[in-house]
Chains A and B, each alone.
Chain A
Amino acid sequence: MTIQFNDESFRDDYSFHNSERALKRFPFPFHEDSYMYSVNMEQHRGGPADSVYEMRFDVDEHYVSEMKDRAIVLDQDPLRCQSLPHMTLAGWDLLELIMVSKSEDYPDLFELHRDGDHWRWINRPLGIDDSFTFLDETTLPYGPMEYITRQAQGDFAVLDQRDDMLWMDAGMVTTQADWSLDFDIGMNFFEWHAPVPKAHEMGIFVRALKFLLNIQQGAPARRLNWTMTVNPLLDTSPENYHKWGIQKTTLTPENIGRKQHLRVELQTFYRLPRSNALVFPIRCYLCAFEDLTAVPKWGRRLHRVVRDLPVELATYKGFIDNRPLMLDYLSQFDDGLPTSSGIWPDRESEPPLQK
């Protein structure tokens, strides 16, 4: 199916919007009417047609505008992209993985032609046609990781694996839920997860690390994570908190449906073959409350999840102050009817709102 790319912004006038098709494929993250952490991993091998799970690296209507937003962030703060010297090979691994995947999954948008180490890469949506020598950095305008992640939606954490531990040794991070690559660079798995409440006591990270260390070539995995964002901001970084944090105080009963967004991360995990490193793409999807609540099942469930979330989690996710306002708004869309299990909208089988 051809993709019509939006011309939209994630800052200033916030012209970001989801089409009906984008709403239909939005990765709603709650499979039941409540939420608690779990190591909710599954294999990443496709999914229903036109769902965000279908392709290895999902390309959607926001692609071109997201890449423009990334270029603005990098222009203002080059430290959003860093790669320690030993991670260059992992960068080539990532370039190869994305180019091969996208050219196979979206042949009308991307082409890769390989003759030994002589490669030609065509990216039609961004108007790129570059020839270069694989594994020779001097033939690309940026390092391999930066080059390819300027052309791929979502953040990328590239983790070195040494001594039964993962290390945050490279990444491209411009669309993050309030964490900083520049702060975390060089840290190990437990260090960069230290701020997360409750999960340590639950032993989540010990189990998650064990799982990740054993992700093997040819067997990628995925999970969903979520938070809340006021205004459709991709760049909710600690570096720019002074710009976006204040916007959380602008919510009113009148504008909340439009301004308040559910922010969902599709996190995938791939073993990189040449370097034995692990790449952790974190793809961000935004959806306004007013769009979400147009789906009866999602409206009912979102109200129940936000209402019943433990205080620590609502605080960590940064919406504890706005929760009463959110609940006033969301309660309009909860008629108390039961919901079907699973994340899919089930529009045909779920009853319309009964109030």
Chain B
Amino acid sequence: MSGAEKLRVRVSEITPINALVTRFRFERCDDKELPTFSGGAHTVVEMQDDGVTRLNPYSLMSDPYDQSSYTISVRRDDTGRGGSLFMHQRVKAGDEMTISYPVNLFSLDLRARKHLFIAGGIGITPFLAQIHQLERFNSQWELHYACRGKSLGSYADELTSRHPNQTHIYFDDQSQTIDLPHLLEGQPLGTHVYVCGPKGMIDWVRNTASAQGWPQDNIHYEEFVSPQPGKPFEVKLSVSNKTIQVGEHESLLEAMEREGVDAPYLCRGGACGQCETAVIGYDGKFIHRDHWLEPQEHKSGQKIMPCVSRFEGKTLVLDR
């Protein structure tokens, strides 16, 4: 079986947060306690969407030590492949769903003397759980959170009222921006910086910190990309001896699963490396979208991450 262990849950509460973001609360169907987790963990939510199984990862935002329920926040993406729309439009309170055990690919480094969080938009969610965890141990942290405007600043008010001294909010529509070089320069030794948000923001923080001489081990980021639609293509799977078609709106991983090929995965967002697959032969070009493989591996034509990457061309043969 691929992926993490599964949990059957009931949607106990659906709360609209603003025009784009909705929060979902899950409780166990058997009314037992949920497992505790570590801040930064995500769960993979299974959606049965008219015969198509969608598996989307969402950061757990609730207190990791609250075993009565988990919460996630889903930002509606009107141009995406439909996972967030399914959550927003089709999921109702009382529905039963399957989610995975927590998996953490964005863990706190507990050696840190101070944790500096930089969030953009919906990237705030893993930090909400991490803040709960750190507050429990009176650890030192500080949050800098950029959002489009007051009306779309999910949880900005709550954070400000609960942690006025640690929370700093920046509204794009008021031309407020994080003074990053200054912020990074002023940090005490032993600080770890964590960034979660759009790709541009992640690159900005990583590059600025590196340029200032921050150790690589002290810079943490989480960037899940979601699979993008693309031209359909055909793949030959040599181990399972099958030739399969990947549709416009599904990923290569999803197509393999649809055909009953058990392919490993965890994050489904190009970050964890679980689904790495060897290429046996190809005639065409790869559209690599993951953060796992090194640039030279992307160029080599020997590996692909089927959760987010695609192919255009005549033939592709994979070791799967």
- Flag whether B266 is at the interface (Cβ < 8 A): yes
Cβ–Cβ contact B5 & A86, under 8 A: no
Cβ–Cβ contact B104 & A135, under 8 A: no
Specify the chain A residue showing the minimal Cβ separation from B111: A86
CB-CB under 8 A from A257, the residues of chain B are: none
CB-CB under 8 A from A161, the residues of chain B are: 107
- Flag whether B176 is at the interface (Cβ < 8 A): no
**Shortest distance from the beta carbon of B280 to any chain A beta carbon, whole Å:** 20
CB-CB under 8 A from B104, the residues of chain A are: 276
- Flag whether A40 is at the interface (Cβ < 8 A): no
Cβ–Cβ contact A274 & B101, under 8 A: no
Cβ–Cβ contact A163 & B65, under 8 A: no
- Flag whether A202 is at the interface (Cβ < 8 A): no
Mark contacts of B201-218 with chain A using CB atoms, 8 A cut-off: 1 yes-contact digit, 0 otherwise.
000000000000000110
Cβ–Cβ contact B35 & A89, under 8 A: no
CB-CB under 8 A from B4, the residues of chain A are: 216-219
**Shortest distance from the beta carbon of A87 to any chain B beta carbon, whole Å:** 8
Contact A218 to B217, CB < 8 A, known contacts A86-B110, A135-B136, A274-B65: no
Cβ–Cβ contact B111 & A218, under 8 A: no
Contact A216 to B37, CB < 8 A, known contacts A86-B111, A89-B110, A162-B109: no
Cβ–Cβ contact A218 & B107, under 8 A: no
CB < 8 Å neighbour of B37 from A87, A219, A273? A273
- Flag whether A214 is at the interface (Cβ < 8 A): yes
Number of residues from B at the complex interface, CB < 8 A: 26
- Flag whether B68 is at the interface (Cβ < 8 A): no
Interface centre among B101, B136, B266 (most CB of A within 10 A): B101
Cβ–Cβ contact A219 & B36, under 8 A: no
**What is the bound-complex CA distance between A274 and B109, given in angstroms?**
13
Cβ–Cβ contact A162 & B35, under 8 A: no
**Shortest distance from the beta carbon of A334 to any chain B beta carbon, whole Å:** 40
**Shortest distance from the beta carbon of B112 to any chain A beta carbon, whole Å:** 8
Cβ–Cβ contact B5 & A273, under 8 A: no
Contact A274 to B38, CB < 8 A, known contacts A216-B103, A217-B5: yes
- Flag whether A275 is at the interface (Cβ < 8 A): yes
CB-CB under 8 A from A273, the residues of chain B are: 35-38, 102
**What is the bound-complex CA distance between A86 and B104, given in angstroms?**
18
CB < 8 Å neighbour of A216 from B65, B101, B107, B137? B101
CB-CB under 8 A from A219, the residues of chain B are: 4-5, 101
- Flag whether B274 is at the interface (Cβ < 8 A): yes
B29-84 contacts to A, CB under 8 A, are: 35-38, 40-41, 64-65
Mark contacts of B118-155 with chain A using CB atoms, 8 A cut-off: 1 yes-contact digit, 0 otherwise.
00000000000000010011000000000000000000
A interface: dominant SS:
loop
**What is the bound-complex CA distance between A216 and B104, given in angstroms?**
9
Cβ–Cβ contact B101 & A163, under 8 A: no
Specify the chain B residue showing the minimal Cβ separation from A134: B65
CB-CB under 8 A from A163, the residues of chain B are: 216-217
Cβ–Cβ contact A217 & B110, under 8 A: no
Cβ–Cβ contact B35 & A217, under 8 A: yes
Cβ–Cβ contact A217 & B109, under 8 A: no
**What is the bound-complex CA distance between A89 and B112, given in angstroms?**
14
CB-CB under 8 A from B111, the residues of chain A are: 85-86
**Shortest distance from the beta carbon of A112 to any chain B beta carbon, whole Å:** 14
Mark contacts of A269-290 with chain B using CB atoms, 8 A cut-off: 1 yes-contact digit, 0 otherwise.
0000111100000000000000
CB-CB under 8 A from A135, the residues of chain B are: 136-137
Mark contacts of A213-229 with chain B using CB atoms, 8 A cut-off: 1 yes-contact digit, 0 otherwise.
01011110000000000
**What is the bound-complex CA distance between A85 and B137, given in angstroms?**
13
Contact A218 to B35, CB < 8 A, known contacts A273-B102, A274-B64: yes
**What is the bound-complex CA distance between A277 and B216, given in angstroms?**
20
Contact A275 to B38, CB < 8 A, known contacts A217-B102, A218-B5: yes
**What is the bound-complex CA distance between A232 and B243, given in angstroms?**
58
CB-CB under 8 A from B35, the residues of chain A are: 217-218, 273
Interface centre among A85, A86, A160, A217 (most CB of B within 10 A): A217
**What is the bound-complex CA distance between A274 and B64, given in angstroms?**
8
CB-CB under 8 A from A162, the residues of chain B are: 107, 109, 217
A242-295 contacts to B, CB under 8 A, are: 273-276
**Shortest distance from the beta carbon of B115 to any chain A beta carbon, whole Å:** 12
CB-CB under 8 A from B137, the residues of chain A are: 89, 135
**What is the bound-complex CA distance between A64 and B216, given in angstroms?**
47
CB-CB under 8 A from A214, the residues of chain B are: 266, 272, 274
Mark contacts of B20-36 with chain A using CB atoms, 8 A cut-off: 1 yes-contact digit, 0 otherwise.
00000000000000011
Specify the chain A residue showing the minimal Cβ separation from B4: A216
User: A87-B110, A276-B38 provided; 4 other pairs, C-beta below 8 A?
Assistant: A86-B109, A216-B5, A219-B4, A274-B64
A interface with B by C-beta (< 8 Å): 85-87, 89, 135, 160-163, 214, 216-219, 273-276
Residue pairs across A and B with Cβ atoms less than 8 A apart, 12 shown, are: A85-B111, A86-B109, A87-B110, A135-B137, A162-B109, A217-B5, A219-B5, A273-B37, A274-B36, A274-B64, A275-B38, A276-B40
B interface with A by C-beta (< 8 Å): 4-5, 35-38, 40-41, 64-65, 101-104, 107, 109-111, 133, 136-137, 216-217, 266, 272, 274
